[in-house]
């Protein structure tokens, strides 16, 4: 079986046995920990040769701060040495790289843009006849996973055997997952076969990666066949497996098959029982196809199985019902959701306001918004901002400002986006409402609300023409906090 990586990966690298790396020019030493200082000092004394031995002899205590400190001392030009340090650190007792550190290493050495650095490091070990372990390769593979480098990960997997290191299931899983994400399913399938030839067997992670991969490209029969293979090999599918398959069926299959699969999951129960994400996915599929009333029946199924809707579920259902003109059903649904205690009235009604604005039923949205404020039901940021912005776009600046006043009185003003202040202030100035503009400007200064740059000149130009010097003085204060 042959896996041929791209030609750029096969080129030999230049990695000298006794390299000398210049000290990076731009460093902030005040942020580096004492342990990092100790490690770096030892590397300098030994002219960056035999770096693994040098680092070990330093006997510095490793933690994320120390590792990050040393990595910061290496610029992009010293990426090979920096990665060798990172790999060494990942092998030390009492320390383990976090996902954050993998992310930082990828960003610092720009691995997504410069994946060849990984190849150079492995080739450098080969030039030095350095003995690599499974753990060292896993650190490299995890870097590939973080940087989403599928081809490089496959190359590293192949190099393990050249170094006399036997890949384990975890190593195969990392590469298979990356290949599936890149839609290289043919290579991923070959690796699964290779695992069995090496007396390794796919586990739940392997199957989930492959099933997701098949579903992402619409190969539903292959995904379903793999689920049956799982069962034959004694690896029972769980909710994650079925949910992944169900997601694929939702996108590429029929809704009838989606509902059938959901019923199978409910019937099987146990670890296969659908969860809130599963039900919400089915509800979304139905709503997107204009079948929101059927989605309501799925909601009933969901609750009968002891699984309750969340904010996402409610938002999808409310939006779907509004788009289909089922406003009465939307209000009934909100009453039911709020009574169930799983979603707040504020979230439900806010979703309805947003949905009404989206279908341009502005009168109903405004009516509902007024009722919410009258009943002291707090609208969320999106609903508040869209409502005020819509009124401003209609030229109804005073109506928007009056809503703003009502929200301020009952303490709901924090839910308004900062740019709405700028839009509202521009409108008040342009429509010649100096009293309201002055009040809003004072509030913006008092609360330190930053005014959006594009609006500043418009406002100042208008006020200078009007000759209202008092408001100009107030707005000069607002300009001091312009972004």
Q: What tens digit of pLDDT does each residue of 397-436 get?
A: 999 999 998 888 888 776 677 788 888 888 888 888 878 8
Reduce the secondary structure of the chain to three states and give it as a string.
Answer: CCCCCCHHHHCCCCCCCCCCCCCCCCCCHHHCCHHHHHHHHHHHHCCCCCHHHHHHHHCCCCCHHHHHHHHHCCCHHHHHHHHHHHHHHCCCCCCCCCHHHHHHHHHHCCCCCCCHHHHHHHHHHHHCCCCCCHHHHHHHHHHHHHHCCHHHHHHHHHHHHHCCCCCCHHHHHHHHHHHHHCCCHHHHHHHHHHHHHCCCCCCHHHHHHHHHHHHHCCCHHHHHHHHHHHHHCCCCCCHHHHHHHHHHHHHHCCHHHHHHHHHHHHHHCHHHCCCHHHHHHHHHHHHHCCCHHHHHHHHHHHHHCCCCCCHHHHHHHHHHHHHCCCHHHHHHHHHHHHHHCCCCHHHHHHHHHHHHHHCCCHHHHHHHHHHHHHCCCCCCHHHHHHHHHHHHHCCCHHHHHHHHHHHHHCCCHHHCCHHHHHHHHHHHHHCCCHHHHHHHHHHHHHHCCCCCHHHHHHHHHHHHHHCCHHHHHHHHHHHCCCC
Section 122-141 average pLDDT: 92
Cβ 74 vs Cβ 41: under 8 Å: no
pLDDT tens digits, residue range 378-392?
A: 999 899 999 999 999
State pTM to two decimals: 0.73
* Structure confidence by residue, pLDDT tens digits, 62-91: 888 989 888 888 765 788 888 999 999 999
Mean pLDDT of 430-458: 77
Domain range summary for the chain, segments of one domain joined by +: 1-166, 417-483
Taking all residues of the chain, what is their mean pLDDT, rounded to a whole number? Answer: 84
Q: How far apart are CA 421 and CA 429, in angstroms?
A: 12
Nearest to 472 by CA among 483, 481, 482, 459: 459
Contact 124, 85 (CB under 8 A): no
Q: Which segment of 183-197, 249-263, 303-317, 456-470 scores lowest on mean pLDDT? A: 456-470
Residue 18: how many CB atoms within 10 A of its CB? 9
- What does the pLDDT read at residue 448? 77
Closest CA to 125 of 47, 11, 39, 13: 13
Tokens of 11: 């080129």
Q: How confident is the model at residue 465 (pLDDT cuts 50, 70, 90)?
A: low
The total number of residues written for the chain in this structure? 483
CA distance 70 to 14: 23
């Amino acid at each position: 079986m042959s896996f041929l990586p791209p030609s750029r990966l096969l080129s030999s690298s230049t990695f000298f046995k006794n390299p000398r790396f210049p000290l990076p020019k731009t460093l902030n030493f005040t942020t580096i920990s004492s342990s990092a200082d100790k490690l770096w000092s030892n590397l300098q004394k030994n002219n960056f040769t035999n770096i693994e031995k040098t680092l070990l002899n330093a006997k510095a205590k490793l933690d994320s701060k120390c590792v990050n400190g040393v990595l910061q001392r290496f610029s992009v030009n010293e990426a090979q040495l920096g990665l060798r340090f990172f790999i060494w650190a990942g092998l030390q007792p009492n320390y383990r790289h976090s996902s954050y550190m993998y992310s930082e290493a990828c960003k610092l050495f720009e691995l997504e843009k410069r994946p060849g650095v990984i190849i150079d490091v492995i080739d450098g070990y080969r030039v030095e006849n350095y003995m690599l372990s499974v753990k060292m390769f896993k650190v490299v593979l995890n870097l590939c996973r973080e940087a989403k480098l599928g081809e490089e990960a496959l190359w590293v997997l192949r190099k393990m055997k050249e170094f006399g290191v036997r890949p384990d299931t975890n190593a195969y899983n990392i590469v298979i997952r990356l290949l599936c994400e890149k839609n290289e399913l043919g290579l991923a399938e070959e690796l699964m076969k290779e695992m069995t030839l090496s007396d390794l067997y796919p586990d739940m992670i392997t199957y989930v990666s492959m099933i997701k991969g098949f579903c992402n490209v619409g190969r539903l029969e292959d995904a379903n066949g793999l689920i049956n293979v799982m069962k034959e090999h004694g690896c029972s599918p769980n909710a994650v497996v079925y949910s992944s398959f169900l997601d694929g069926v939702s996108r590429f299959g029929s809704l009838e098959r989606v509902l059938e699969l959901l019923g199978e999951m409910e019937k099987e129960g146990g670890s296969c029982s659908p969860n809130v994400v599963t039900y919400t996915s089915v509800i979304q599929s139905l709503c997107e196809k204009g079948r929101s009333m059927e989605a309501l029946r799925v909601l009933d199924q969901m609750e009968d199985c002891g699984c309750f809707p969340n904010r996402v579920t409610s938002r999808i259902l409310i939006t779907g019902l509004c788009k289909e003109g089922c406003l009465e059903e939307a209000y009934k649904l909100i009453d039911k959701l709020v009574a169930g205690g799983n979603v707040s009235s504020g979230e439900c009604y806010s979703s309805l306001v947003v949905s009404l604005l989206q279908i341009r039923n502005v009168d109903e949205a405004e009516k509902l918004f007024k009722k919410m404020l009258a009943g002291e039901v707090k609208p969320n940021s999106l609903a508040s901002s869209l409502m005020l912005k819509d009124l401003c776009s209609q030229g109804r600046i005073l109506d928007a400002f009056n809503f703003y006043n009502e929200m301020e009185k009952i303490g709901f003003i924090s839910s308004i986006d900062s740019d709405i202040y700028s839009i509202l202030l521009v409108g008040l100035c342009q429509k010649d409402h100096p009293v309201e503009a002055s009040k809003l400007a004072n509030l913006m200064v008092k609360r330190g609300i930053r005014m959006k740059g594009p609006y500043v000149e418009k406002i100042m130009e208008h006020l200078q023409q009007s000759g209202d010097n008092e408001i100009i003085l107030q707005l000069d204060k607002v300009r001091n906090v312009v972004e």
